[in-house]
């Protein structure tokens, strides 16, 4: 069964920079995994931030960016704001994977402190 | 305004069945793949199923294969998730989401507000 791994929790100071990563048990994440990133706040539905590794939606704040880093998908927040405190999930495409083509990471709880 | 509204969640006994619906509005429904994901209380998101634009192809996560069936009615702008042989571990908020696949661009937006399925005796 494919496992997608994210840091369980990270803490960042307001105005700081933090990078969240997303790794696949199948090997190095490439553009073919079409990494998507979502933000979720308590009691709310997920909100899309990044698609296909590094593309921003029209509503995505400029301080969010996506990339590939050391064989993983990465989400970097530069100039973190208090409202960025949330759960962040990556979603990777695994093609004809036994467990299903799309797999979420376990999520990263980002604390702004 | 693009909108997805789920319904059909309820309390059901183990072994029971339920059909979730997701009504779409504000966009050309038949142009998009549709997905269901779920989130157990206090847990992370789990991808559950997807269906292509004309309903001729679908995938499932292994844990629901053979028990859940996704379908869509493009005339009614609605996607469904038929859930049979429900287990306690299927308890979750179920979200539907719109998915566009266009060349190398693959994105998901929006997700509905979710509907709660509780499987308990």
Distance (Å) from the alpha carbon of A23 to chain B's nearest alpha carbon: 16
Residue B18 pLDDT > 70, yes or no?
Answer: yes
CB contact under 8 A, B107 and A93: no
Residue A96 has what pLDDT? 74
Q: Which residues pair with B102 in a beta bridge?
A: B105
Please state which of the ranges A19-28, A41-50, B98-107 shows the lowest mean pLDDT: B98-107
Residue B16 pLDDT > 90, yes or no?
Answer: yes
Mutate to test the interface with B, among A46, A54, A73, A110 (most CBs of B within 10 A): A46
Residue B55 token pair: 């309903």
Residue pLDDT, tens place only, A65-101: 999 999 999 999 999 999 999 999 999 999 877 668 9
Residue A57 pLDDT > 70, yes or no?
Answer: yes
H helix runs in B24-110, sequence order: none
Q: Three-state SS for B64?
A: helix
Mean pLDDT of A22-36: 96
Residue B100 token pair: 């566009």
What is the spatial distance between Cα A54 and Cα A36, in angstroms, rounded to a whole number?
8
> Angle at CA B70, nearest 5°, toward B67 and B72?
155
Mutate to test the interface with A, among B6, B47, B49, B96 (most CBs of A within 10 A): B47
Chain A residues whose C-beta sits inside 8 Å of any chain B C-beta: 1, 31, 34, 36, 38, 40, 45-48, 51-52, 55, 57, 87, 89, 91, 93, 98-107
Partner A contacted by B104 (CB < 8 A):
yes
Name the residue among B102, B51, B36 with its Cα closest to residue A55: B102
């Amino acid at each position: 069964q494919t496992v997608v791994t994210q840091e369980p929790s990270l803490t960042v100071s307001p105005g700081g920079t933090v990078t969240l990563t997303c790794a696949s048990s199948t090997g190095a994440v490439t553009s073919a995994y079409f990494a998507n990133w979502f933000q979720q706040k308590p009691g709310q539905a997920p909100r899309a931030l990044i698609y296909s590794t590094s593309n921003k939606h029209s509503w995505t704040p400029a301080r969010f960016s996506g990339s590939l880093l050391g064989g993983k998908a990465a989400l970097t927040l530069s100039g973190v704001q208090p409202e960025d405190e949330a759960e962040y999930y990556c979603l990777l495409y695994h093609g004809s994977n036994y467990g299903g083509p799309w797999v979420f990471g376990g999520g990263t709880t980002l604390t702004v402190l | 305004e693009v909108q997805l509204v789920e319904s059909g969640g309820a309390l059901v006994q183990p072994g029971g069945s339920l059909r979730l619906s997701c009504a779409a509005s504000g966009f050309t429904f038949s142009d998009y793949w549709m997905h269901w994901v779920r989130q157990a209380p206090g847990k992370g998101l789990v991808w559950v199923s997807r269906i292509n634009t004309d309903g001729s192809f679908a995938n499932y996560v292994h844990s629901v294969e053979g028990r859940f069936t996704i379908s869509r009615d493009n005339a009614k702008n609605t996607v469904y998730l038929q859930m049979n042989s429900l287990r306690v571990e299927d308890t979750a908020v179920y979200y539907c989401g719109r998915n566009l696949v266009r060349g190398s661009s693959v994105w998901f937006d929006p997700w509905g507000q979710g509907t709660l399925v509780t499987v308990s005796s």
